[in-house]
Amino acid sequence: MGILLQQIVNGIALGSIYALIALGYTMVYGIIRLINFAHGEIYMIGAFVGYFALTAFGLPFWVSLLLAMVIPALLGVLIERVAYRPLRSSPSITVLITAIGVSLLLQNLAMLWFSPDPKTFPQIFTRAPFNIGGVRITFPQVIVLATSVLLMIGLNFMVQKTKIGKAMRAVSQDKEAAKLMGIDTDRIISFTFAIGSALAGAAGVMVGIIYPRIQPLMGTMPGLKAFVAAVFGGIGSIPGAMLGGVIMGLTESLVTAYISSTWRDAIAFSLLIIILLVKPAGILGKSTREKV
Amino acid sequence: MPANLLEARSLTMNFGGLTAVVNLSFQILKGELVGLIGPNGAGKTTVFNMLTGVYAPSEGSVYLENELVSSLKPHTITQKGIARTFQNIRLFNDLSVLDNVRIAFHSRSSFPIFDAVFLTPRFFKKEKAIYDNAMELLGIFGLADKKDEKAKNLSYGQMRRLEIARALATNPKLLLLDEPAAGMNPQETEELTELITEIREKFDLTILLIEHDMSLVMKLCERIMVLDYGILIANGTPDEVRANRRVIEAYLGGDV
Amino acid sequence: MTNNPNKKNLDGYVTLIAVVVLVLLNVVLLAGKMPTYYTGILRFMGINIILAVSLNLINGITGQFSLGHAGFMAVGAYVSALVSIHLGWPLVFALLAGAVAASLLGILIGLPTLRLRGDYLAIATLGLGEIIRVVILNLDITKGARGLGGIPRTTTVYLVELFAIITILFTVNLMRSTHGRALLSIREDEIAAEAMGINTTFYKVFAFSAGAFFAGIAGGLFAHSMGYIAPANFEFMRSIEILVMVVLGGLGSITGSVIATVVLTILPEALRGFAQYRMVLYSAMLIAIMLFRPSGLMGTRELDVRQVLGIFKTGGEKDAS
């Protein structure tokens, strides 16, 4: 029982990181129907920005976190401008291949710049655990959970209450109609990329706090899994991405504890295929039908 | 009395909370030319989608020559003898005009994949037959000289004609035309009317067509069915339908 | 004679096949006198041609976007290697065993996933490729992450080129028939294809299993060429490399795939000194192709020697795809 609770705590911490990444996938997919393959690399860049801010520049944690959100946000906007916007009216496969290209380019540039060797993320928080009823909760886990929850509350507020959030929802409902209503769709799309990328950048720092080894290929697997989480929750749905992320984190930590860590990756993808076949719209998604 | 070709029994189609077609029953006799009309959103195309298997009806069933077809897959229904065109033209855009028609000959002129891979004599014989039949059909539709053109480079009227030619290549008993005259100028519509009459004779067809161009419908169809909000509100000769109060209300949208 | 449409049709691709066979034959003749370094590259090139053409059958011709080709290659590689090692089967039979296994797996996992469309299918096939890799990683018989050694190195350049020619002929002959047109119609518009009486499920599964079959052959040739294989040989990146070849050549163009594969196999070798920039170049090229020439080098067209040499007038006969 103690082990189970322990794994649930670990799973939620990991899951909140997946949720942060999944939010970017789901928002971008919701607005331009693109699986942004490069999103996992944005998360990797976020981790490296955080790393350099903390080590090379010795900045305080909260400033480093902010930088690790702002720089990926700018990068996200730049990628959309240069690589995706010219293909707005192209077949989805063309854009998907481009996104794969961007993902590979970032990975390989990161290997050139940062070297392929893993770096150790600085330990800024004490790792001495609290003991609550036999369950060990570490301070980094608390930080990760608190930051993620704060960011998600902020995001929810922005999407539901602010003018730009309403515009985002309008564009994701019907781009043409939103344009006719005077919404600058290009600006909204850029903004969506910025927000999604900022969250991924924050996730990069979060992962550095809990699992302090970062390297240029670190984004691929979590990126894919976060995408699976987004599909699981219902792609395009923001609460769905949060839920999917947490479920993914929990499943992984339970599989690692009770089955084997080498099967972990296969479980994530099996989950994806099952959900796609059984309920392609995801848990909280709406199903659509092609008009004939 | 001519035999019953198609029978729809109590067809209902729900999309989530929306009911597009309600308890629709009708028959089409062999050799008839029937029009299906109604205001926008009345559920006409949904009826076509149910008849051709694109949608499985929520309730009810479709019989072709007394055989239940509504549980079959679209390609099987096509092979049984119902062919269609699409309201929003769905040609194989990047393929040639010839290939568009040749593809539709596939189900009745096919041969084992083995023959294709090993270039057996049967491959050449069958492919020649497909080519000749396709060219003959393109000739009837005045598209023979466009055979190598990509479908997307045709004019609008030519696209509509190619879609009908393609549907005919499947050798249908019943041809469903979804707004064949949409986007055509009066002269093209006139030519289309003649063409429909001509192919009906030549291919011994039964035709059900959706159309907004009333002059075409009234001139061509022997019987007209009127759909409004998914309900069949009239079913009769053009004159009967023209005089029908409920039809007039549906079109004028009044609360008379 | 020239009025027979099929003969005319045939001319176009007989010349295409002639060129491919000629080039490959020359390669084969030369291979006898080549240093091993070059024959190694040639084997690799031939294997890549098989992979690219078979992926083109799925992605380019049938329009079913698959990102799991390396998974099928892995199945072919491991099954054929195990059959060679444990049962001592001769190479060709081992290759066929691997190909059949890959093909069956293609059908087995293809049937449910082919209901998915577009980018969802892409992600599902990516997932399947990864699942295959994780399974290999966890099995005892495959020796997990340590890799499987001791595979007889019996693959020759001749055999690779033979299978490359078979793959090309299979695909080209298929494409020129009513079956090939059925595959193309699915790429163009699946709903319309169904409405024209095409059994789209059958043809999608067929394309998937045929593509997997040849990927399995390629995997077997690869295993018996290297003598040692590990799950790391069949990662997601391998699928992407094959995809880049197909996309650069032009989705749907067989000659395009062959040309792109030759270029992309030689180029990295020529740029050996810049090894660390290789993948940067690859990915930048992928983006550039999509932005500036999404149809690739050849579009959906095929290379016709007569057009290239300009000896005969083709008289406006455009026999595309």
Nearest beta carbon to residue A272 from set C124, C276, C282: C124
Whole-number percent of chain B with pLDDT over 70: 97
Whether pLDDT at A28 is above 70:
yes
Residue B178 C-alpha, separation from nearest chain A C-alpha, in angstroms: 11
Residue range C5-309 in CATH 1.10.10: no
Q: Which is more confident, A142 or C270?
A: A142
- A95-99, A115-119, A161-165, C316-320: least confidently modelled range: C316-320
Give the separation between CA A269 and CA C107, rounded to whole angstroms: 19
Whether pLDDT at C149 is above 70:
yes
pLDDT band of residue B153 (cuts 50, 70, 90) is very high
Per-residue pLDDT reduced to its tens digit, B30-44? 999 999 998 888 889
Whether pLDDT at C315 is above 50:
no
CATH number at residue B53: 3.40.50.300
Could you tell me if residue B98 is inside a domain? no
Q: How many CA atoms lie within 13 A of B146 on its CB side?
A: 21
Is residue C149 a contact partner of residue C231, using CB atoms and an 8 Å limit? no
> What is the number of structural domains in chain B?
1
Whole-number percent of chain C with pLDDT over 90: 43
Whether pLDDT at C312 is above 50:
no
Q: Which is more confident, A266 or A216?
A: A216
Q: Which of residues 169-198 of C touch B (CB under 8 A)?
A: 169-170, 173-174, 176-182, 184-185, 188-189, 191-198
Inspect the interface and report whether the beta carbons of B15 and A292 lie closer than 8 Å.
no
Ranked by mean pLDDT, the top range of A262-276, B109-123, C191-205 is C191-205
The verdict on B117 touching C (C-beta cutoff 8 Å) is: yes
The pLDDT of B17-29, averaged and rounded, is 91
DSSP letter string over C56-78?
HIIIIIS------HHHHHHHHHH
What are the Cα distances from residue A244, in Å, to A58, B181, B229, C196?
35, 49, 40, 40
What are the Cα distances from residue C262, in Å, to C141, C212, C255?
35, 21, 11
The pLDDT value recorded for residue C16 is 66
Q: How many CA atoms lie within 13 A of B213 on its CB side?
A: 21
pLDDT band of residue A264 (cuts 50, 70, 90) is confident
pLDDT band of residue C5 (cuts 50, 70, 90) is very low
Could you tell me if residue B102 is inside a domain? no
Could you tell me if residue B133 is inside a domain? no
Domain ranges for chain C = 5-309
Domain ranges for chain A = 2-123+134-278
Q: Which fold has domain A2-123+134-278?
A: ABC transporter involved in vitamin B12 uptake, BtuC (1.10.3470)
Chain B partners within 8 Å of A292 (Cβ)? 45, 49, 54, 86
The pLDDT value recorded for residue C17 is 67
The verdict on A37 touching C (C-beta cutoff 8 Å) is: no
Nearest beta carbon to residue C130 from set A104, A265, A290: A265
Whether pLDDT at A284 is above 60:
yes
Residue B255 C-alpha, separation from nearest chain A C-alpha, in angstroms: 31
pTM of the model: 0.87
**ipTM of predicted complex:** 0.91
Domain range enclosing B87: 4-92+157-252
Whether pLDDT at C199 is above 90:
yes
Whether pLDDT at C310 is above 70:
no
Q: Which of residues 111-170 of C touch B (CB under 8 A)?
A: 169-170
Q: What is chain B's Cα-based Rg?
A: 19
The tokens 């011994």 sit on which residue? B204
- B42-56, B193-207, C35-49, C95-109: least confidently modelled range: C35-49
The verdict on C115 touching A (C-beta cutoff 8 Å) is: yes
Per-residue pLDDT reduced to its tens digit, B187-224? 888 989 999 999 999 999 999 999 988 888 888 999 99
Could you tell me if residue B13 is inside a domain? yes
Is residue C5 a contact partner of residue B131, using CB atoms and an 8 Å limit? yes
pLDDT band of residue C14 (cuts 50, 70, 90) is low
Is residue B34 a contact partner of residue B208, using CB atoms and an 8 Å limit? yes
pLDDT band of residue C78 (cuts 50, 70, 90) is very high
The pLDDT value recorded for residue C223 is 96
Chain B partners within 8 Å of C173 (Cβ)? 116-119
The encoded tokens of residue A131 equal 């003991």
The pLDDT value recorded for residue B149 is 93
* Most distant pair of Cα atoms in chain A: their distance: 61
The pLDDT value recorded for residue C274 is 72
DSSP letter string over C262-308?
HHHHHHHHHTGGGHHHHHHHHHHHHHHHHHH-TTTTTTT----HHHH
Is residue C252 a contact partner of residue C112, using CB atoms and an 8 Å limit? no
Whether pLDDT at C139 is above 80:
yes
Mean of the per-residue pLDDT values of chain C: 83
Non-local CB neighbours of B18 within 8 Å, separated by 6+ positions = none
Per-residue pLDDT reduced to its tens digit, A194-244? 999 999 999 999 999 888 889 999 998 899 889 889 988 888 888 889 999
Chain A partners within 8 Å of B45 (Cβ)? 292
Whether pLDDT at C10 is above 70:
no
Whether pLDDT at C213 is above 50:
yes
Whether pLDDT at C2 is above 50:
no
Inspect the interface and report whether the beta carbons of A277 and C284 lie closer than 8 Å.
no
The pLDDT of A109-116, averaged and rounded, is 90
Whether pLDDT at A14 is above 60:
yes
Could you tell me if residue B81 is inside a domain? yes
The pLDDT of C65-72, averaged and rounded, is 92
Inspect the interface and report whether the beta carbons of C290 and A95 lie closer than 8 Å.
yes
